[in-house]
Chain A
């Protein structure tokens, strides 16, 4: 019976380690002050009768947790603020959440559960477009609106379009057009690209180059490197790119890859030798602190410090007080998503999914980033892109965009005719 005893001991130890891990971090997490970010004084929640459930399914583990976690925190804060302001149609809003680990199958299982068992009346998330597309057919089946705060692929509003989906972040076409238009104004002509060797990486590079080709007849593409998705050894590619002597290096990386690329590029002095063009979100910039990738051209969806409304300043402060980090772009778009849904409910006067979706189609709603319109033809939120040069920022302790250029949505979106041509009949 010795064997059994040692097995029990083993198990106890394993459980203790997990428990200790849990205790260690819970003791270090600081007390969270209750702040209403938009500063609107709320009516006391005692008047609320009953609750209404909404669901957030996004990447809380896996490669894209760097996008999903800040996105989820945005939903969370928005729902708290909504309740602090008196709830919605006299009800308290309850947020249920689940992790999809960027897996379409996990995402659909989560959302199915939220809708059929938890009776969720709206779905927020996910972090990546592959899951968004899988959710689009599911929410159409159940007639529940879906607000996509992070999945940016153009297929969300075109080939997979459904009237229940609202794209709450600028899409990949808007990204390419915005950064393309900015670089068209710059004198450079010798370009190199380095991106992931997957569909996503290729489409980002092609979108960017297509815009440049139109405005720069003398454009030279001196080197194109395709890296392994999820890899972290960029040194051979960086060295190859530098060897071709470009003026500009376009590097559309995200999350952990972006950090690894930047660190190794700094080793090669890439930021001093060429103009690096890359989508730096607040999260990687915050992880770097200073010295960061100063001098690089950054293009972003919703950097909180660059948006000029009083509400977003209050939101950023509340977010920082609550979570210890500054909001990522996805935190902002997530907050805006919940606000948009709430406006839809108020307009429709009901939580019914079809009525809310119809009320929001083509509507203009007030949010923390100002009034935004949800274009009727493809349900793309008309949001600008933010482009500029990164420079150290003493007040935040990391690099932020300076010499800001705001690419207006009307200039960078597909036309309705273009979008509808791609939508299912």
Chain B
């Protein structure tokens, strides 16, 4: 990790995972002002679902991905309907607790269904190093991961930007009561954003699982990505992407100069500084206090 371009290239895969997880945070936060503590657990669940579907579909990679998309969107919608919509209107602390319980249920259920011993995911994408000029080493899997993250997040952004449901989503979060008077289906927009959040988490979990192995304890991705979202701004999708890149590069630099053990704590130190200096992040909108 000597040269900067090399460090940057090495950080992009990690940044993609953070950005996907972060996009899920942003979608949920925008539509319902809920801080989803279960995002990392949902990534774990997504990776295991990929494993199960892959076995079911005889390891056909593309079909498995498509099926994962459908299943994860459905799970997101169901989670919202079952756990969050009955409690709409409760304080933020109750809603955070509910997401924590969702996470706790996932880490209890996953080992019951798939066991505690590690699994490996099958993929046609090679992890063999491709050497690019400038000493950059990458691989098919890395390139596909980065491309997928960009496409998924760009898709979300277009959805919010150019469709009525995106505008509804913003309205629903700002003032649910007013939005519902104007004919916005608050529950529907929140449900849709949960569906997309779980979808993004599943993609991230699968990308993670493809380069590591599946064990029921890999839930740390969610808390690792929190700082990225805060740096970018809790309600900004482009912010989540920029925050993800900054976080990943910062962590790689910390690993090089301070040691690998410093990566997480560096991220949270940055988070604390950003909160104190600019709580709404680089791209987020400032929250107004109404008297």
Contacts and interface: CB of A to CB of B under 8 A. Distances in A.
User: Which of the listed residues B105, B116, B126, B220 has the most CB atoms from chain A within 10 Å of its own CB?
Assistant: B116
Given A256-B217, A267-B128, A288-B120, A197 B259 contact: yes
Given A10-B82, A13-B82, A14-B105, A235 B217 contact: no
Given A10-B82, A197-B261, A65 B127 contact: no
Interface in A16-34: 17-18, 21-22, 24-25
Interface in B106-139: 107-109, 111-120, 126-129, 135, 137, 139
User: Which of the listed residues A9, A230, A231 has the most CB atoms from chain B within 10 Å of its own CB?
Assistant: A231
Interface in A46-70: 60-63, 65-66, 69
B261 A24 contact: no
A288 to B, nearest CB: 7
B167 interface: no
A284 interface: yes
Given A65-B216, A283-B118, A198 B211 contact: no
A228 B260 contact: yes
A233 B87 CA distance: 38
Interface string A220-245: 00000111111111011101100100
A66 B83 CA distance: 32
B260 A226 contact: yes
B10 A17 contact: no
Interface in B136-160: 137, 139, 141-142
B261 to A, nearest CB: 4
Nearest to B224: A231
Contacts, number: 147
B260 A229 contact: yes
A229 B10 contact: no
B13 A233 contact: yes
B62 to A, nearest CB: 21
Contacts of A260: 211-213
Contacts of B260: 196-197, 225-229, 231, 237
B217 A17 contact: no
B129 A21 contact: no
Contact of A259 (B129, B213, B217): B213
A273 to B, nearest CB: 11
A18 B116 contact: no
A65 B14 contact: no
A272 B113 CA distance: 37
A230 B264 CA distance: 11
A253 to B, nearest CB: 12
A337 B215 CA distance: 27
B118 A21 contact: no
Interface string B60-85: 00000000000000000010011101
Contact of A256 (B78, B137, B213, B252): B213
B82 A264 contact: no
A235 B218 CA distance: 18
Interface in B34-83: 78, 81-83
A264 B215 contact: no
B255 interface: yes
B118 to A, nearest CB: 4
A268 B139 CA distance: 9
B1 interface: yes
B127 A17 contact: no
B82 A24 contact: no
Contact of A263 (B87, B211, B259): B211
Contact of A65 (B6, B116, B208): B116
B212 A263 contact: yes
A266 interface: yes
B152 to A, nearest CB: 20
B264 A325 contact: no
B96 interface: no
A83 to B, nearest CB: 26
Given A14-B105, A229-B260, A22 B83 contact: no
A9 B87 CA distance: 13
A274 to B, nearest CB: 14
Nearest to B82: A10
Interface in B79-104: 81-83, 85-87
B212 A259 contact: yes
A6 interface: yes
B187 to A, nearest CB: 11
A255 B215 contact: yes
Contacts of B7: 236
B105 A66 contact: no
A287 B117 contact: yes
A266 B109 CA distance: 31
Contacts of A236: 1, 7, 10, 252, 255
Contacts of B108: 18
Nearest to B210: A263
B263 interface: yes
A62 B126 CA distance: 30
Interface string A277-308: 00000011001100000000000000000000
A173 B252 CA distance: 32
A187 interface: no
A105 B252 CA distance: 33
Contact of A231 (B13, B129, B217, B263): B263
Contacts of A6: 85-86
A10 B88 CA distance: 13
B215 A235 contact: no
B71 to A, nearest CB: 14
14 contacts: A7-B87, A13-B82, A63-B217, A65-B116, A226-B255, A226-B260, A228-B255, A231-B260, A235-B142, A240-B2, A263-B211, A269-B128, A287-B117, A287-B119
Interface of B: 1-2, 6-7, 10, 13-14, 78, 81-83, 85-87, 105, 107-109, 111-120, 126-129, 135, 137, 139, 141-142, 208, 211-213, 215-218, 220, 252, 255, 259-264
Given A6-B85, A17-B109, A228-B255, 14 more contacts: A25-B114, A65-B217, A66-B116, A226-B255, A233-B14, A235-B137, A236-B7, A236-B10, A259-B120, A260-B211, A263-B127, A264-B211, A267-B126, A269-B129
Interface of A: 3, 6-7, 9-10, 13-14, 17-18, 21-22, 24-25, 60-63, 65-66, 69, 196-198, 225-233, 235-237, 239-240, 243, 255-256, 259-260, 263-264, 266-269, 283-284, 287-288, 325
